[in-house]
Amino acid sequence: MSAVCGGPARTLRVPGRHGYAAEFSPYLPGRLACATAQHYGIAGCGTLLILDPDESGLRLFRSFDWNDGLFDVTWSENNEHVLITCSGDGSLQLWDTAKAAGPLQVYKEHTQEVYSVDWSQTRGEQLVVSGSWDQTVKLWDPTVGKSLCTFRGHESIIYSTIWSPHIPGCFASASGDQTLRIWDVKAAGVRIVIPAHQAEILSCDWCKYSENLLVTGAVDCSLRGWDLRNVRQPVFELLGHTYAIRRVKFSPFHASVLASCSYDFTVRFWNFSKPDFLLETVEHHTEFTCGLDFSLQSPTQVADCSWDETINIYDPACLTVPA
C-alpha cells in the first residue's frame, strides 16, 4: 500500500545535484549530511550538503564542492563538526562544518571509485572503512595520512562497508561478487564469507539490537536477514521491491524494523517479526532513490535522497503509530 506520511515532509530541491547518500548527525538533532553528484555520478563534480530543519522545511547550512561525484558520507563519532565523504576519483575527503573551506585532508589510495565509507561506532576506537570498485576495503585512522590496512578477497565491486555497532574491530562488506563478508581488523582478514544472493549486493547493515544479525539488499529485489551463528540460509526474506535495492538500514529504535530504498523510486518500511512484514511504502520520489537514514534522536524521523534532486526529512505513518 502507499501510505501518507505521519506529517508533511520537509523537502529541499537541489538543482543539478543527484543524491547518493543521506546521514543524520549523531550529535545535532535534525542536522543532515547529503552526498551528491552531478550528471547522476557519471561525470562532473560532487557536493556535500549540510542541512538543518527550519519552520519552512530544510535550509542549507553549508555546502562543499569536490571535483568528482560524492557517493557516500559518514559523520565523525568524536567531533560534531567533522565528516568524511568518498568520491569517484578514488579519494576520501575529511570536512569540518565549522570551516567554510575544505577539505581538511584528502586520502587518495583507491584506484577506482569509492562507493562506501563508514566511521566506527564502538567506544575506544576512531577508525574508518572504505569500499571501492577496485575490489578492496581500506582501513583508516583519520589522524593518519595513509591507510592502516588493505583487505582483499572480494572478486568484484564493493558497494557497502559497515562497522558492527557491537563488536570492536569488526565490519561487514557487500559486493557485486554476490557475497556478504565479515572482517576482523585484528586478524587483518575475513572471518565469514556468505553467498547471500545470486545477484549483486548493493547494501548491508547491522542490527542495532543483535550482534549476530545483518541484512543485505540486492539487485534481485530482495532483502535477506543473516544470523552469523548459522549462515547456511537467511533467517528472513522480504519481497516487494520491483527493482534493485540500493540501501538498507535497521532502525535504531525498533529491534525488528528496517527500511530500504530502491531503483523502483520507493522507500519501504518493514518489520521482519510480523507475518505482514511490509509496513509502508513511501512513493514521493520520481527517480532512483539512493540515500536513506533513520534519525538517532527521533524514533519517527527518516531522511532520504534521490536522483530527482530532492532531499526529504519526514515521519512515516508506520513509525508514528504504536507497533
Residues in the chain: 323
Q: What does the CA dihedral 141, 246, 236, 170 come to, rounded to 10 degrees?
A: -10
Per the domain annotation, does 1 fall within a domain?
A: no
Contact 106, 124 (CB under 8 A): no
Per the domain annotation, does 2 fall within a domain?
A: no
Q: Give tens-digit pLDDT for 201-216.
A: 999 999 999 999 999 9
Per the domain annotation, does 4 fall within a domain?
A: no
Query: Residue 16 CB: number of other CB atoms within 10 A?
Result: 12
Per the domain annotation, does 143 fall within a domain?
A: yes
- Tell me the percentage of the chain whose pLDDT exceeds 70: 96
Per the domain annotation, does 3 fall within a domain?
A: no
270: which DSSP letter? E
Q: What is the pLDDT of residue 40?
A: 65
Per the domain annotation, does 177 fall within a domain?
A: yes
Amino acid (1-letter code) at residue 165: P
Q: Give tens-digit pLDDT for 82-111.
A: 999 999 999 999 999 999 888 999 999 999
Written as nine digits, the cell of 95 is 570536512
Q: Which long-range contacts (CB under 8 A, 24 or more apart) does 208-215 make?
A: 208/165, 208/250, 208/251, 208/252, 208/255, 209/255, 210/255, 211/164, 211/166, 211/167, 214/172, 214/180, 215/248, 215/250, 215/258
Q: What is the pLDDT of residue 307?
A: 95
For residue 43, the enclosing domain spans 9-320
Q: Which of 1-5, 138-142, 226-230, 267-271 has the lowest mean pLDDT?
A: 1-5
Measured between alpha carbons, how far is 53 from 271 in angstroms, rounded to an integer?
Answer: 28
Amino acid (1-letter code) at residue 38: Q
Number of structural domains found in the chain:
1
Per the domain annotation, does 253 fall within a domain?
A: yes
Question: Which domain CATH number covers 145?
Answer: 2.130.10.10
Q: What does the CA dihedral 58, 265, 121, 71 come to, rounded to 10 degrees?
A: -80
Per the domain annotation, does 33 fall within a domain?
A: yes
Amino acid (1-letter code) at residue 228: L
